[in-house]
Structure 1
Amino acid sequence: MRVKIVNKADRPLLTNSHWGVYQPEVVEGRLRGLHPFSEDIDPSPIGPGMVDVIDGPTRITCPMVRQGWLEGRRKTGRGDEPFVRVSWEEANALVAQELERVRSDFGNQAIFAGSYGWASAGRFHHAQSQLKRFLNCIGGFTKSVNTYSYAAAEVVVPHVLGSFMGMVSNTTSWGSIAQDCTLFVAFGGVALKNGQISPGGTGRHILQASLRSAKAAGVDFVNISPLRGDLMEEVGADWLALRPSSDTALMLGLAHELMSQNLHDQEFLSTHSVGFDTFSSYLNGDEDGIPKSAEWAAEICDLPVQDIRDLARRMARNRTMIAVAWSLTRQDHGEQPYWAAITLAAMLGQIGLPGGGIGFGYGAENKVGLSMRPFPVATMPQGVNPVSEFIPVARIADMLQNPEGVFDYNGKQHIYPDVRLVWWAGGNPFHHHQDLNNLRAAWARPETIIVNDWCWNANARHADIVLPATTTLERADIALTPNDPYQTVMDQVIEPVGDAKSDHDICKGIAAQMGVEEAFTEGKSPEDWQRWLYDITRQSAAREQIEMPDWASFQETGWFKLAEPAEPIIMMQAFRADPVVNPLKTPSGKIEIFSETIAAFGYADCPGHPVWLEPLEWLGGTVDYPLHLVSNQPSTKLHSQLDHGSVSRAAKVAGREVLSMNPEDAADRGLENGQLVRVFNGRGACLAGLTITAALRKGVVQMPTGAWYDPDGGLCRNGNPNVLTPDKGTSRLAQGPIALSCLVDVVAWQDELPAVRAYDGPVIC
C-alpha cells in the first residue's frame, strides 16, 4: 500500500542525516533539493548529493538474485555475474530456506551478521539493529566487535583509563578550550572535513566556529601531521611534518625531555597514576641501553631535535591540551600512540584541569567537544544473542579464510567460526576493509551472501541475494541522539522507489516465513516503535531533569534543542579532584601508565607500558616502495556513502579519486598536475587523478577513502586506496586495522584510459 506524503502541521519537511539536518524540496512526488537547516551555521554540502541518485540508474528497485547462485548456489562469479529479478515472495522464501538450512546443518554461529557501517541516522530504522533483532529471534549469529575508526583505542584505553567511549562522550568542550587553554597540540590534526559528520545526526556544525573562537581567545595551535591541511590555515598553527607512523616516538621523546629537565608533575603522577617508575626506566634505556631522548626521537620522526625540545618546554609552561586524532590508532601498533599520549598528559599533570589534559578525536566528528549534558536515549532492543562467537571487526578476511583458526584478542585466545552465510545491512565492507583484492578472494568462500542496500555499490554487486532497502527520505523516523543537542523528526518525503522496503519490513517478511513475526514485531507498527522509543527516552530524560516535549508537540514542531550545561565539560575533572572518591574503572583506580594486566598477556607487540615498535611499513625502515600513503577520510562523502552523488563526483580529477603529492616527488617522476596516475604496491593498484601541492610532506601521498571499488584484476579503476592497504591487526591485544601503515609508488598511466564501471550496476536478466 502506497503512503500518501503529507506535510505535518503545515511545517517544513525535515530529514536528519549523519552530515546534518536538511529541509527537503519535493515537486510532484520527486526529490528536487535538500536545503540547509535554519539552525546550522556551517551546513555540510554532502547531503544534496542525494538528490540526483535517489532514483537514479544505480538504484536497486526490486529484489535480485545472482544468476549462478539461483541456478545452483554457485559461489564463483560474485561481482561479475548478472542478476535475476524476483518477487518479494520469492526473495523471502529463498532467504528463509537458506537460513533454515545453514542453522540446521552448521548451527547459528555459521551465520555472520557483520553489518558494520553507518547506515542511516534514524533511531528506529537502524539497519543493524533490525537485522540483529531478527536473527536473535531465530537463534543468533556470529558478531563483530569494535570499530574501524579506533579499534586499538577501544581495547587499550579501558586498561589505562577504565573507559574509552566514556571519555569520548565527555571530552573537554570547546568552550573550556577557548576559555582556559593556551596551547593546543594536535597529533593528527583537527580536520574540518571530518567534523561534517556525527553519528545519529547533527543540527549545528560547530567545528570551524570553535577553532576560530579558540584562536581569537589566544590559543596557540601545533599541527603534528604530514598534512598541513589537517588544521585549517586560519588558526596559524605551527606545522611539525613528522614522518608518518612515528607519533609514538615523538611522544616518548617529549616525555624524556620533560623528565630529564624535571618539568614533569611528580605529585600528580604519584597521586593519580601507577607505573611511572617502570615507564621512566624504559625512557632512560635502563634495559635496552637506548634513552628515548629528543635526539633519538628526532632521528625516527625526521624532525629537528630543537623543535622537539622547544615543544616539550612550551607544553610544560602552558595550559596544554594534547589532542590525538582517531586516525593514530589505524596504524601498526596503533595502541601505542594513545597510551603514550595519555602518559605524556599525565606527566604534564593537567588531566582534569579546564582547557588542559587530553582529548580523543577533536574534529573526528562534530560531536567531539560539544557542550552537552548526558542524554539517555533509548535504542531499539535487539534481544539476546545465544551465540558467543565473535571476531574483531577488521578480521573478516581472516575469519573467512581460516575457519577454526586461532586468534588472540585482549588477553584470550579464540577460534574463528566456520561461517557459511554472511548477511550485511547498512554498511559496505568493500569500503572499510583493507587489501580489498584479498577480501574479494575471501568473499568467494561463504555459500551465501545476502545484502540489504539501496544502490549498486560493490557490496551489493558481490552478493547472492540483494534486498532493496529504502533511504531515510522514503520512510518516517525520529533522530534521537546522545551526540547532538538537536533532536528532530525524519519525515517521509517521497514514496519508496520501485519495490524498496525498509529494513524493518524486509526482516518482518522473512520473519513471517520462519514463524517468528510476532517475536520480531511484538505486534507494534513502525510508528508504535518510534513512539515507544520516544516515550522511554522522555521518561529517562525527566529523571535527569531534562525536559522534552510530548510526542504530538514533537511531531508538530519537528525539532527541539536540549539545553546546554551551565558549566563547560572538563574530562576527568572529578577524578582529578579526588581519585579516591572518584576512582577510574582500572584495577588500581588510577591511570595505568604500566598495566600489570596487559603485561601478563605476554604480547611482544603490546607490552605493559607505552613503547616504540617499528611499524610493518614506514619510511624509516626497509623501503620496498618509496612513498607513504595516507588514506584518510573524504571531504565530499561519508565513507563511501554518496560516492556516486554529484558532490563527490564533481571533486574527482580525470574522473577518478584524487591523489595529492608533494611537488618534489612529482618532479622526480615527471608527473604533472591533473594527469591520470597508477598508484601501486605488491597488494594491488588503483588509478587516481593527480593534484600537486606543497601542503604535505615530501615522501607522502594522500588519497581519501570512499571511491566505490571497481576491480579489473588487481587494479581498481575508480581509485579505492584500500586495494593497497595491508590487512593485519594492530597487535594481538586489539587486532585493529592498520590502513595508515602503507607504502606505495606512483607512475603515469600510459595505457588506454579504462572506463569507470563502478556506477553502472550489474547486468539484469
Structure 2
Amino acid sequence: MFRGEVDGSGALRVRPRPGDPDPSALLRNIPSAVGHRARVLRPTVRRGWWQDGPGPTDRRGRDAFIEVGWDEVLDRLAGELRRVRDAHGPQGIYGGSYGWASAGRFHHAQSQLHRFLNTAVGGYVGSVGTYSGAAAETILPHVLGPSGPVSKATVTWEQIGAHTDTVLAFGGMAIKNSAVAAGGVSTHVERAAMAAAARRGTRFVLVGPLRSDLPPEADAQWAVVPPGSDTALMLGLLHTLVVEGLHDTAFLERYCVGWEALEEYLLGKADGTVRDAEWASGITGVPAGEVVALARRAATGRTLVTVAQSLQRAEFGEQPVWAGLALAAALGQVGLPGGGFCYGLGSIAYYGRRKVAVPVSPLPQGRNGVREFIPVARIADMLLHPGEEFDHDGRRLRYPHVRLAYWIGGNPFHHHQDLGRLRRALGRLDTFVVHEPAWTATAKHADVVLPSTMTIERDDIGATSLDPIMSAMHRLVDPPGAARDDFAIFTGLAERLGAGREFTEGRDVRAWLAHLYERTRAGLDRQGLPAPSFDEFWAAGEVELPLRADDGGLLAAFRADPDRTRLPTPSGRIEIGSATVAGFGYPDCPGHPAYFAPTDAPDERHPLWLVANQPATRLHSQLDYGAHSAAAKVAGREVVRIHPDDAAARGVADGEVVRLFNDRGACLAGARVTDDVMPGVVQLPTGAWFDPADPGADPAAQVPFCVHGNPNVLTRDVGSSALAQGCTGQHTAVQLERWDAALPPVTAHDPPAVEPREAGR
C-alpha cells in the first residue's frame, strides 16, 4: 500500500503508507510507468488476423500491427467470440487470466474475464492450481487439508517470536518475497519479526543453495544443499529420529495414519536402501554428523518446519511438502504455537498473519457452464495435443480443443516454461486476445491487443482477508491514450453479445465498489465496531478491520481434540501415508513421501544448476521497465549470480555479460560474482521480458535466444508429477560462458512496428 499525488510539475510522487516499518523499494517502479514508451495506447491488431481472418499461423510474434478504433475492434471481436461459441461451444475458449493484475477487488483481471465469459459466452475452459503452488495445492488436501487453512493461518510471526526455538527453513524465507501480497500489504513485519526472534534465541536454519533466502537479521545457520535435494535431507533427519528413539510415537499413533509405510521406507525394508544420515549426506553434501546434530536439535524444544513455495515448483515438487509435514509430525509438534509445519511461510506477505474477522467481498464470477479444465501449467500441452489424455489427481482426463485464448492480467511469456515451445503452441490458436497496459512479449504475440489501465489510473478497493487495512484506491493519473479499464471493455463486448445487463447488473464502477464494500461494512456493524458508509470510507482513504484471535486455527483445534475436530483429509488425520494417493498408482508420486533424483540435472554438457526464482526488483514481470527494476540490470540485462569458483573457471569477471544456454534455448545476462550462491549453482530470476534476438524467425525452427535475460527460454515444460502436473520452472541445467561478441540491443520495452492501415482494410 502506498500514497500518491501529482506534483506541480505533473510528475507522480509515491510514498509508503505511514506506519509501514519496512516499506518495499518496489514502489519506485510506479512513477516511472507513467508515460513510458512501453505502454499500449490504442487498440492494436495483428495485420494478418485483421485482413485474413482467424486461424492457426506461425506469424504470431512476427507480423506487424495496425491500430483500429474501439468500436470496430469490439465489433470484430464480439463476432469472433460468437463464431467460436456457435461452432465449437464455449469449451472452444480458454479463459487464460492468470497472474496478479491488480490489488483491487473489483478490477481483478481474472474475476472480470471469468465473469464476462460466464455471463456473455456461456463459460470457458479454465485451469486449476497455480504456477506458484500447484504441487502443494494438490498434495496437501490429501494429507493435511487445503493449503489456505494449513499455511496462511496456522502459525503467526507473533507465535514464532514468543515460542519457537528452532526454525528449519527449507528453501528459506526471502524478504523479497514477502514484500508483496494479493490485495495489498499495509505493514511489512517479516524482517523485524525474524530479528526479534533471533534476539530471543530462536535458531534459524536455512536449507538451500542461496544465502540470501534468509535475511541477515535472522542470523541463520546455512545448510548448503543443491537444488532438488531437500527431501533427501528431510528423510535423513527422519531416519535419525527413528533410530535414536527421538520421534513422538504417541503423536503419530493418535493424530496420524500411514506412518508405518514411511518408517519401512526409511529403514529400507522393501528395497534395501537405508535413508540414513550417510545416505542423505551423499545426496545433499551436508556431512552426516551435521545431519544427526540437526535432527537432535529439532527434537529439543519447539521446532517449526517451513517449506518454501520454491521447493514444490520443481520436478517431484509434491515430495518436499509431504516430507516436511512428516518431519513435523514425527517431532510431535503440529498444532503447537510456533511449532509444527507451515507451507509457504515467507513466500508471500500474508502467510504468518492473523485472518480478518469480517468478510471481504470479491467480484462474483458467475457460473461456468464448461466442465473441461487443465492444470494451469499445461497450457502448451493443451494447445499442441488437443484430445490427448493426461493424468491429474487420480483422474484420467483429455485436453480440450481450444480455438480462442483470452488472456488478461497475466504474462505467460514470464511465468511459463520453454518459451520456444510456448510460441509454437500459441500458433495453433485461431485467435489470441489480450488486454495489456504494456507491450509485453505476450502482447507482441497476440492477434488483438486492447489497451487496459493500471491501478493508478482507476478507482478500486484494496483488501485481503489477511491484512487489517482496507484501502480506498483513488485514481491518481488519467489513463494514457485510449486505454480503458477491463470492466469497460467487457461491458462493450457483453452489450454486443446481448448480455450487457447480465454482466454489469446495472452498476457502474462506483456502484460496484459500494456494493462490494457493503458486505464488509455490515460485518463491522454486526460486531458493534465503527462501520463507516462507503462515502465516508472513500473520503477517509482506509478503514481498519478486526483480526481473529491468534489461536492456531484448525491445526490447534485438531491437536486439542482430533475426534471432535477432524482434518479435511480422507481419514480425518494427518496422512503420512495416503491410501488414496497410493491407489492412484503413480510411479512418480507413491503413497508416502519419497526421494526421486532430478532427471533434469547437470551433466558434462550443462554442468550448472540454474535456479530461476522470483526477482527482488519487481513483482514477477510487472513494471520490468520501472526505474527500480532497470537500475539493477547490468548493460540493460537481468543479473545472474555465480560463485567465484565457477566464474574463474570460465574467465568471467563481475559486471561482464555472459551467455547461459542448454538445448532448449539461450539468453544473455549480466554477471554478479558472489559467494552467496553455492558452487555449481547460478541464479537468474524470472521477470525480464522475453526479447528474442531475431523476432522474425520461424518459431518452428528457432531455438530462442533472449538478449534480455529471461530464464524461461531454458526451463523445461513438464509437470511436477502425474498427481499435480504443476510447474517445474524453478530448476534446470545450463552452461555459462563469457559473451565476447558485440552486444545486441535490448528492445524488450519498445513497442512493435505499427504500420499504416491501408484504405478500406
Q: Distance in 2 between matches of 1:72 and 1:96?
A: 17
Give the AA of the match of 2:176: K
- Pick from 644, 647, 653: which aligns with 2:634? 653
Q: Distance in 1 between matches of 2:432 and 2:114?
A: 16
1:433–1:476 distance in 2 versus 1, CA, 3 Å: same
Q: Calculate percent identity across the aligned residue pairs.
A: 47
Pairwise CA distance, 1:556: 2.0
Q: Deviations 1:392-451 (Å, cap 9, x if unpaired)?
A: 000010001001111100000111111110100100000000111111111111010000
- Equivalent position of 1:735 in the other structure: 725
- Equivalent position of 2:4 in the other structure: 24
1:550–1:524 distance in 2 versus 1, CA, 3 Å: same
- Pick from 704, 720, 741: which aligns with 2:685? 704
In the alignment, structure 2 segments of 5+ residues that lack a partner are 694-701, 756-761
- Equivalent position of 2:502 in the other structure: 519
- Equivalent position of 2:475 in the other structure: 492
Corresponding position: 1:400 with 2:419? no
In the alignment, structure 1 segments of 5+ residues that lack a partner are 1-20
Q: Distance in 1 between matches of 2:531 and 2:722?
A: 45
Q: Distance in 2 between matches of 1:375 and 1:146?
A: 26
Q: Deviations 1:361-416 (Å, cap 9, x if unpaired)?
A: 12111111123444421111111110001000000100010011111000001111
Give the AA of the match of 1:126: H
Give the AA of the match of 2:626: G
- Equivalent position of 1:218 in the other structure: 201
Pairwise CA distance, 1:32: 2.0
Corresponding position: 1:474 with 2:457? yes
Q: Distance in 2 between matches of 1:609 and 1:734?
A: 15
Corresponding position: 1:580 with 2:563? yes
- Equivalent position of 1:681 in the other structure: 662
Q: Distance in 2 between matches of 1:547 and 1:359?
A: 34
1:53–1:567 distance in 2 versus 1, CA, 3 Å: closer
Q: Distance in 2 between matches of 1:433 and 1:112?
A: 16
Q: Distance in 1 between matches of 2:357 and 2:584?
A: 35
- Write out aligned runs for 1:159-170 (5 A): 159-170=142-153
- Equivalent position of 1:420 in the other structure: 403
Pairwise CA distance, 1:548: 3.9
Corresponding position: 1:753 with 2:743? yes
- Pick from 18, 28, 45: which aligns with 1:38? 18
- Pick from 351, 355, 358: which aligns with 2:334? 351
TM (norm. structure 1) is: 0.95
Pairwise CA distance, 1:287: 0.6
- For residue 742 of structure 1, give the secondary structure of its aligned residue in structure 2: strand
- Equivalent position of 1:10 in the other structure: none
- Equivalent position of 2:178 in the other structure: 195
Q: Deviations 1:200-232 (Å, cap 9, x if unpaired)?
A: 111111111111111122111101010111111
Pairwise CA distance, 1:473: 1.3
Pairwise CA distance, 1:514: 1.0
Give the AA of the match of 1:270: E
- Equivalent position of 1:81 in the other structure: 63
Pairwise CA distance, 1:39: 2.1
Give the AA of the match of 2:733: L
- Write out aligned runs for 1:589-668 (5 A): 589-619=572-602, 624-668=605-649
Q: Distance in 2 between matches of 1:51 and 1:394?
A: 33
**1:192–1:231: 8 Å Cα contact kept in structure 2?**
yes
Give the AA of the match of 2:24: S
Corresponding position: 1:60 with 2:40? yes
Q: Distance in 1 between matches of 2:318 and 2:531?
A: 40
1:541–1:617 distance in 2 versus 1, CA, 3 Å: farther
- Write out aligned runs for 1:489-568 (5 A): 489-540=472-523, 542=525, 548-567=531-550
Q: Distance in 2 between matches of 1:546 and 1:155?
A: 38
Pairwise CA distance, 1:318: 2.1
Q: Deviations 1:700-719 (Å, cap 9, x if unpaired)?
A: 00011100001125100100
Q: Distance in 1 between matches of 2:642 and 2:108?
A: 39
Pairwise CA distance, 1:567: 3.9
Pairwise CA distance, 1:527: 1.1
- Equivalent position of 2:282 in the other structure: 299
**1:109–1:142: 8 Å Cα contact kept in structure 2?**
yes
**1:181–1:356: 8 Å Cα contact kept in structure 2?**
yes
Pairwise CA distance, 1:564: 4.1
Runs of at least 4 residues off by over 6 Å: none
- Equivalent position of 1:18 in the other structure: none
**1:111–1:141: 8 Å Cα contact kept in structure 2?**
yes
- For residue 679 of structure 1, give the secondary structure of its aligned residue in structure 2: strand
- Equivalent position of 2:104 in the other structure: 122
Pairwise CA distance, 1:37: 1.2
Q: Distance in 2 between matches of 1:125 and 1:30?
A: 25
Give the AA of the match of 1:706: G
- Equivalent position of 2:166 in the other structure: 183
Pairwise CA distance, 1:540: 4.1
- Write out aligned runs for 1:301-450 (5 A): 301-450=284-433
1:547–1:618 distance in 2 versus 1, CA, 3 Å: farther
- For residue 667 of structure 2, give the secondary structure of its aligned residue in structure 1: strand
Q: Deviations 1:136-168 (Å, cap 9, x if unpaired)?
A: 112111011110111000000000012212112
**1:355–1:570: 8 Å Cα contact kept in structure 2?**
no
Q: Distance in 2 between matches of 1:441 and 1:716?
A: 16
Pairwise CA distance, 1:29: 9.0
**1:425–1:453: 8 Å Cα contact kept in structure 2?**
yes
- Equivalent position of 2:699 in the other structure: none
**2:21–2:187: 8 Å Cα contact kept in structure 1?**
yes
Give the AA of the match of 2:45: V
Q: Distance in 1 between matches of 2:605 and 2:373?
A: 35
**2:149–2:554: 8 Å Cα contact kept in structure 1?**
no
> Superposition RMSD on alpha carbons, in Å?
1.4
- Equivalent position of 1:71 in the other structure: 51
Q: Deviations 1:492-513 (Å, cap 9, x if unpaired)?
A: 1222211111100000001111
- For residue 745 of structure 1, give the secondary structure of its aligned residue in structure 2: strand
- For residue 374 of structure 2, give the secondary structure of its aligned residue in structure 1: strand
Q: Deviations 1:605-625 (Å, cap 9, x if unpaired)?
A: 101110111212235xx5541
Pairwise CA distance, 1:544: 6.5
Q: Distance in 2 between matches of 1:624 and 1:368?
A: 40
Pairwise CA distance, 1:171: 3.1
Give the AA of the match of 1:641: Q
Pairwise CA distance, 1:475: 1.1
- Equivalent position of 1:98 in the other structure: 80
1:94–1:546 distance in 2 versus 1, CA, 3 Å: farther
Bigger Cα displacement from structure 2, 61-70 vs 531-540: 531-540
- Equivalent position of 2:133 in the other structure: 150
Q: Deviations 1:617-672 (Å, cap 9, x if unpaired)?
A: 235xx554100000110011000001011110100012100000000011111111
**1:643–1:708: 8 Å Cα contact kept in structure 2?**
yes
Pairwise CA distance, 1:105: 1.2
Give the AA of the match of 1:730: S
Pairwise CA distance, 1:569: 4.0
Q: Distance in 2 between matches of 1:130 and 1:352?
A: 38
